[in-house]
Amino acid sequence: MLQAVIGYTSRRFRYAMVMPNLSTPVATTEQASMYLEQIRKVTPPDSPDFRPLMTLYCSDQLEIEDLCHGHSEGIVKAVKYYPAGATTNSQSGGSAMMNFNHIYEAMEEKRIPLLVHAESTDDDVDIFHREAAFLERELALVCEQFPELKVTVEHISTSDGIDFVKAHPQVGGSITPHHLARNRSDMISPAFHADLFCKPVINSEQDRTTLVETAISGDPSFFLGTDSAPHPTHAKYGKDAKAGIFNAAYGLEVVAEIFATANKLDNLAAFTSVNGATFYGYEPSQETITLHRSSLDPEKATHISTEDGNQVVLFGVEEASQWTVST
């Protein structure tokens, strides 16, 4: 799978924050280094400036000394917190964020960013309200206790997520192409569309509108985070649909269509290329790619195939048919 999808990211993006939720969690510097080497081995030669940013899984296996060593060596760039059971391969995540205060304390001191999958796993909370519940019950306490800890609310799905970032100066927020372009009716009406199932789930049209308004505004606290997650169709269409949308191939076209529709293309580069790099303290790329709006409706691939014959659906084919990309 890695070999099948890596080029879609490396050819479009300079930086990729690489998630640690593999089937065996990436919780040590050694594991992160090995994963980085795997990525570099299969990165296409036409992506010489691609820079994977490795993260460690916040869990009982994470050791502070190893984390600090990995960060000082330039291997570990951030730590990712998953609520246990919230999403793909999150079984090793936490039952409560405050259980890891000793880790956050070290991260705050060393200026290591914390990335958060902000979603409650409380069965009593409506699935469409789980982001708000997590932010209120969990992340707010962490931000209050560690005011200098740089935090990203990843793949914001609701207005509550936007409000939370705006209320906390040390917090940034990533927004995905699919949360910008689709609402929950697209996912479940007139039937359930497994290809749009992700965590946190795509939410209401009102929430989508707020996400769009925020993204196109140029607010530097918000930036593109694709949360691109390839799952083969047999896993997406099985009895228990895997949560994840593969959007690396056409994510830029989807976002460009959003900005073009709102007549805000002047802010597109800030959202896709500048705000995130700046938030994490990296130099934005000086290289450019150019998107051209086209009425030719060129035919676009709808799937990719892995070496063993698995197929993965590409998100954003409709929007991609309106754009061409050149480097």
Per-residue pLDDT of the chain (327 residues; tens, 9 = 90+): 999 999 999 999 999 999 999 999 999 999 999 999 999 999 999 999 999 999 999 999 999 999 999 999 999 999 999 999 999 889 889 999 999 999 999 999 999 999 999 999 999 999 999 999 999 999 999 999 999 999 999 999 999 999 999 999 999 999 999 999 999 999 999 999 999 999 999 999 999 999 999 999 999 999 999 999 999 999 999 888 999 999 999 999 999 999 999 999 999 999 999 999 999 999 999 999 999 998 776 789 999 999 999 999 999 999 999 999 988
Asked whether the beta carbons of 148 and 139 are under 8 A apart, the reply is no
**pLDDT of res. 130:** 98
- Distance CA(23)–CA(89), nearest Å, equals 6
**pLDDT of res. 218:** 97
- Name the CATH superfamily housing domain 2-290: Metal-dependent hydrolases (3.20.20.140)
Question: Considering the entire predicted model, what is its pTM?
Answer: 0.96
Q: Residue for token digits 């040590």?
A: 28
- Distance CA(123)–CA(295), nearest Å, equals 46
- Whether the bond between 200 and the residue before it is cis, its omega within 30 degrees of 0, is yes
Q: Is residue 219 flagged as an active site residue?
A: no
- Distance CA(115)–CA(88), nearest Å, equals 16
Closest by Cα among 109, 227, 220, 132 to 169:
220
Active-site position among 227, 240, 266, 297: 227
For residue 121, the cross-strand partners are none
**pLDDT of res. 209:** 98
**pLDDT of res. 121:** 96
Domain residue ranges of the chain, discontinuous segments joined by +: 2-290
